[in-house]
Amino acid sequence: MSASAPDIAAKPKKGFRLELKTVGPLVALLLLVILGISLNENFLTYNNLTNVLARSSFIGIIAIGATFVITSGGLDLSVGSMAAVIAGIMIIVMNSLIPSLGIGVGVVLVGMGAGLLIGGAAGVGNGLMITRGRIEAFIVTLGTMGIFRSLVTFLADGGTLSLNFQVADVYRPVYYDGLFGVPWPIIVFALVAIGGEIVMRRTAFGRYCAAIGSNEQVARYSSINVDNVRLFTYILQGVLVAVAVLLYVPRLGSASSTTGVLWELEAIAAVIIGGTTLKGGYGRIWGTVVGVVILGLIGNILNLQSFISPYLNGAFQGVIIILAVLLQRGRRAS
């Protein structure tokens, strides 16, 4: 805790002076928005913005979990494959319960419950192997990444698992409908983000995460239960992956071995763009949210223009990501 204390205590003293280090991601976001507006008049329409936010929400919810994991000095590479396997099992559970429960909200609720349970269990598995098994997080989650990915391929028999058509109709509104015209995925993303920000800033757990990531030994001597805090970050990550999947399944009603490919990299990228340090010790939830929106907008802008060759999409993405981080680091040096 002592390691993170200066960070937190120092903030108010700085007063209202805006630091580019803090607002760096926001500047990058603003530049992207200006680019988007200049490229296409439909960019700022309500429909386009809700489209982008809704489809970014999966990565967003996962990335908030990843912020906690990374802040406490950990890493979870398995989230993308985990999402695929949760989606696959949810679909299997729902399809197999139709004869006994009939088609309706009941089946969907049981499916959602199953999803959350599997997510939590996967998190417990990752967390126990890392904390009790004393294996590097990178290796454990690289291993489970492969295990989950093959598992979903196996369950789908190499093909695609599709949700029963009528159940899919019952479930569909969870992605496509919303409250006061705001789609559900955006609402859930916002709630998770606000909750995450509060936990990170205002609770002992949040401070412990930063302390462990900053210096594990010091944290241990400060009588923080390092293993349990770490374990809990992985469980939280697992549950949040499940929450993201609950919103993903109703979109296309299917899961296959391509579901969630590279989501882990997108989530980690969003976390780092947002200002969290990859080696741990400092985490910023709102930054992660900005990072996720930046990544979502890059894809959107590329589709809204036609003068960058589609062959160069990856390059454009790379330049923006590096620029977004450069904007923060540049000020740190001066």
Q: Which residues form the interface with other proteins (CB under 8 A)?
A: 40, 42, 45, 47-48, 51, 55, 153, 156-160, 162, 176, 251-252, 254, 256-259, 261, 299-300, 302-304, 306, 310-311, 313
51 vs 277 by CB, closer to other proteins: 51
Min dist CB 176 to other proteins, Å, is 6
Min dist CB 156 to other proteins, Å, is 7
Nearest Cα neighbor of 290 from 313, 319, 320 is: 320
- Identity at 7, one-letter amino acid code: D
Both tokens of residue 269? 């990228």
3-state SS, 244-307, equals HHHHHHHHHCEEECCCCCCHHHHHHHHHHHCCCCCCCCCCCHHHHHHHHHHHHHHHHHHHHCCC
Min dist CB 32 to other proteins, Å, is 15
Question: Cα separation of 248 and 259, whole Å?
Answer: 10
- Identity at 166, one-letter amino acid code: Q
45 vs 203 by CB, closer to other proteins: 45
Question: Cα separation of 107 and 171, whole Å?
Answer: 10
80 vs 283 by CB, closer to other proteins: 80
Min dist CB 115 to other proteins, Å, is 18
Residues 6+ apart with CB under 8 A from 63: 266, 267, 268, 270, 271, 288, 291, 292
Min dist CB 48 to other proteins, Å, is 5
Give the other-Cβ count within 10 Å of 105's Cβ: 10
Min dist CB 303 to other proteins, Å, is 3
106 vs 314 by CB, closer to other proteins: 314
5 vs 312 by CB, closer to other proteins: 312
Question: Cα separation of 47 and 100, whole Å?
Answer: 39
144 vs 300 by CB, closer to other proteins: 300
